[in-house]
Amino acid sequence: MTSPLRARRSRVHLVLLGVVALILLVAAFDMLAGYWLSSEAAVDTAGALTTRGQAQRRLDLVWGSVFIVAGLGVLAMSLWGLAERRSLAEIDSDGLRLRVLGPGGFLLVPWGDIFDIRSHRDPGNGGHPRPVLLVGVEHSELYPPLLWEGEWSGRWLRMDADHWVDPVEEFVVRANLELGRSRREGEAASGPQP
């Protein structure tokens, strides 16, 4: 095999996640202290919080806290993804390595256990079809049933490829070439049958 092909998450997607995180953090600050867009809690003529104002303040505190936690989490994920640039799927000489076991966990599916590799377009939300990597696995029962960014559909492992830098079809072509090479090597190693 010449050079391994690695599918990575798009930098544009990661930057957009960072922008969403910043919007959440700004909204949280506005709800808790800024009051540029949100309204302050209701007060009476003496400036004390009314019963309605106390309820508004509690609600602002809850939503502001949720926005802070979500914003910091999404921002960390975005910055980590931009800094690390780890691959989501790799074509290896031993088989396909798919990051479906968690943020750092790759599942190796050996070439000998793969019967087909395809791409597919699932109907997505709003009519945008989502690209999917499909890997046909002979013995799917030997692999973990619960996957992180993938799922089993019978003997097919389905992995979302919506935010990959390169099209999933390019990955499938290269993976099928490597699968064919592996099969030819296996047949040559077993020698002629009597």
* Residue 173 forms part of a structural domain: yes
Residue 131 has pLDDT above 50, yes or no: yes
* Residue 49 forms part of a structural domain: yes
* Residue 17 forms part of a structural domain: yes
Last residue of a domain, one of 51, 84, 117: 84
Last residue of a domain, one of 28, 59, 84: 84
Looking at the fold, whether 16 and 107 belong to one and the same domain comes out as: no
Neighbours of 122 (CB within 10 A): 11
Residue 156 belongs to domain spanning: 87-190
Q: For residue range 139-157, what is the model confidence (pLDDT) as tens digits?
A: 888 888 888 878 898 899 9
Q: For residue range 47-99, what is the model confidence (pLDDT) as tens digits?
A: 676 777 777 788 888 888 898 899 988 888 777 766 666 677 888 888 888 88
46, two tokens: 């003496």
Looking at the fold, whether 134 and 41 belong to one and the same domain comes out as: no
Helix/strand/coil for 42: coil
Looking at the fold, whether 94 and 168 belong to one and the same domain comes out as: yes
Looking at the fold, whether 123 and 167 belong to one and the same domain comes out as: yes
Question: How many domains does one find in the chain?
Answer: 2
**Cβ burial, residue 41 (10 Å; 0-12/13-18/19+):** middle
Q: What is the CA radius of gyration of the chain?
A: 25
Looking at the fold, whether 101 and 166 belong to one and the same domain comes out as: yes
* Residue 2 forms part of a structural domain: no
Tell me how far apart the alpha carbons of residues 51 and 44 are, in angstroms, rounded to a whole number: 10
**Alpha carbon of 129 to those of 31, 100, 117, 121, 178: distances in Å?**
36, 21, 19, 5, 27
Side chain identity at residue 150, one-letter code: G
More confident residue, 115 or 57: 115
